[in-house]
Amino acid sequence: MYAIETDELTLSYDESIIIKELDIKIPKGEITVFIGSNGCGKSTLLRSLARLLKPKNGSILLDGHSISKLPTKEVAKQLAILPQGPEAPEGLTVLQLVKQGRYPYQNWLKQWSVDDEEAVTRAMKATNIYEFAERPVDSLSGGQRQRAWIAMTLAQQTDIILLDEPTTYLDMTHQIEILDLLFELNEKEKRTIIMVLHDLNLACRYAHHIVALKDQKIYAEGRPEEVINCSLVQNVFQMNCEVTIDPLFGTPLCIPYGKGRCILKGIEVKNA
């Protein structure tokens, strides 16, 4: 069963084609990570899956239904998206931010309810920001702010969560903290998580399914241990490397050569 599927999906900005005739199937209840070089279309693809970008051609199916034909609020009840580097209005508190996740459930007949209140509280507790409820979002640390935004998406109570570079600008500790949180959401609640990540090693550690993009197409997809190798890294990222095994998790671990240190150490750079 697939959470999201595309059929000959073509995406563009004006006349510039970004993604061309893409067929992709996102596994339900798993973590899928898009990887690829800068400008390859990862974020564009993610935005289109959330119906934030209209396809030039082709279609997107959400749980088997054409996403273009679904009402906006119905889509918002099925998937939530956290864009890269979101910013909250000055002075907005964490509680006020997280409450925004309940927008799809509000209308002139149904106002704020006990269910809404419980959803917001659960989301803040799940992300460990409940104690910061009355704090302005802009007063929090980078990791705390990111958890607040994730709490907003959790309050939306969707089965599918899309995140564009959720670890951007975070230090190593907070990167792992955020990815551990998303991993737990998948493990405990079977949420379908779709992410764009630049760190290949973290992508391998946390993803069940990896999609590598190159030249407007899918270059490779599958389990990290099936698709991540020296040839992929060379062809997708133009980087020579060694791929070994992560000693903690058994997932692929990419060790790039680079030039300066190799010259200094007298290491011969191998071709993929």
For the stretch 136-176, pLDDT in tens is 999 998 889 999 999 999 999 999 999 999 988 788 988 99
For residue 147, give the 3-state DSSP assignment.
helix
The three-class DSSP label of residue 108 is coil
- Tens of pLDDT, residues 191-215: 999 999 999 999 999 999 999 999 9
Question: Which structure tokens are listed for 270?
Answer: 């191998």
Alpha helices per DSSP H over 128-218: 142-155, 172-189, 200-206
Place of tokens 């929090």: 140
CA distance 227 to 253: 12
Query: Which residues lie closer than 8 Å to 10 by C-beta, 6 or more apart?
Result: 17, 19, 20, 21, 22, 55, 56, 57, 58
Residue 39 in contact with residue 238, Cβ under 8 Å?
no
Distance CA 50, CA 87 (A): 19
Weakest-pLDDT range from 23-27, 92-96, 243-247, 259-263: 259-263
DSSP 8-state symbol, 268: P
Predicted pLDDT of residue 28: 96
- The DSSP annotation for 219-265 comes to EEEE-HHHH-SHHHHHHHH---EEEEE-TTT--EEEEE--SHHHHHH
Q: Are 223 and 208 in contact (CB under 8 A)?
A: yes
Domain boundaries, the chain: 1-78+159-228, 88-157
Query: Would you state the pLDDT for residue 269?
Result: 61
Distance CA 137, CA 1 (A): 38
Q: Are strands 31-35 and 209-214 parallel, antiparallel or unpaired?
A: parallel
Confidence of residue 78 (pLDDT cuts 50, 70, 90): very high
- More confidently predicted of 269 and 160: 160
Find the helix packing angle between 142-155 and 114-126, rounded to 10°. Answer: 140
Tell me the whole-structure pTM to 2 decimals: 0.91
Res 1: pLDDT: 77
CATH number for the domain formed by residue range(s) 1-78+159-228: 3.40.50.300
